[in-house]
Amino acid sequence: MTTLFISDLHLSADRPDITDCFLTFMKEDTKGIDALYVLGDLFEMWIGDDDDSPFHQQIKTAFRQLTDSGIPCYFIHGNRDFLVGKRFSDETGVQLLPEHTVIDLYGKPTLILHGDTLCTLDEAYQRYRKKVHNRFIQWLFFRLPLAWRQNIGEKLRSNSGMANQAKREDVMDVTPDEVVKIMAQFGVRAMIHGHTHRPAIHDLSVENQPAVRTVLGDWYDHGSVLVCNPDGNQLETRNFAESYRT
């Protein structure tokens, strides 16, 4: 009995090392598992389900093979791929979940989310997030030609990178009070999220009861996987192929 969690792969055609590690993970690590959860930022950029590039088809095929084998896969949107929609779900068999979802993880109610909503000190990002999640703005965006959307996405990605370089580290991390607030709101004592790229397992207190927050790692230098079973949870890494190591 095993459930796997991953996030922040930032898959793109520019990083074949990450892609190969992911595809190996999908073939080898997912055999016989109970479920796979992807907690956002699977892709470096997703500008619409109509982007049928060979690279995207390759990733979708890996998910379809997994779900066709009878293993359920769930996806929560990240800040890079919040436009993943129904067509992607239909083509892959991956089930899309709300941004805050409570699951039963071997008897323990656990809140799963991408994690960007916890970074409340980053007020500029939260304002940006509110705009791009506006349904009308998304409706307008999807009516632009694919090439235009790709250009806009590249510009937003570049601007985001430059903006983050100027931000303090604490601003880009979660706000502890927000973590406690959200866990209390959903009545849980366990949380799993990504986004911050700071893998760790944190002990904390929620309403005077012991709680735990698990942060998933990114895949920039190696794969990062949270392996859960009835005996507990463990953060693990997966190495890139030898040909990609420096």
- Residue ranges and CATH numbers for the domains of the chain are 3-244 (3.60.21.10)
pLDDT at position 241 is: 84
Would the annotation count 195 as a binding residue? yes
Whether the full predicted model's pTM is greater than 0.85, yes or no, is yes
Would the annotation count 77 as a binding residue? no
pLDDT at position 11 is: 97
Alpha helices by DSSP H, listed for 77-145, are 86-92, 123-132, 135-142
Would the annotation count 164 as a binding residue? yes
pLDDT at position 82 is: 93
User: What are the residue ranges in the chain where pLDDT is below 70?
Assistant: 160-172, 243-246
Would the annotation count 80 as a binding residue? yes
pLDDT at position 170 is: 60
pLDDT at position 171 is: 61
* Count of alpha carbons within 13 angstroms of residue 179, beta-carbon side: 23
Q: Tokens 């409340």 — which residue? A: 120
Closest CA to 160 of 123, 125, 117, 197: 125
d(CA 141, CA 62): 28
Q: What is the widest separation between alpha-carbon atoms in the chain?
A: 53
CA angle, 12 then 6 then 63, to 5°: 65
Would the annotation count 56 as a binding residue? no
Would the annotation count 79 as a binding residue? yes
For 190, the token pair is 């366990």
* Torsion sign across C-alpha atoms 145, 151, 157, 162: negative
pLDDT at position 157 is: 74
pLDDT at position 158 is: 74
Would the annotation count 160 as a binding residue? yes
Would the annotation count 122 as a binding residue? yes
pLDDT at position 102 is: 98
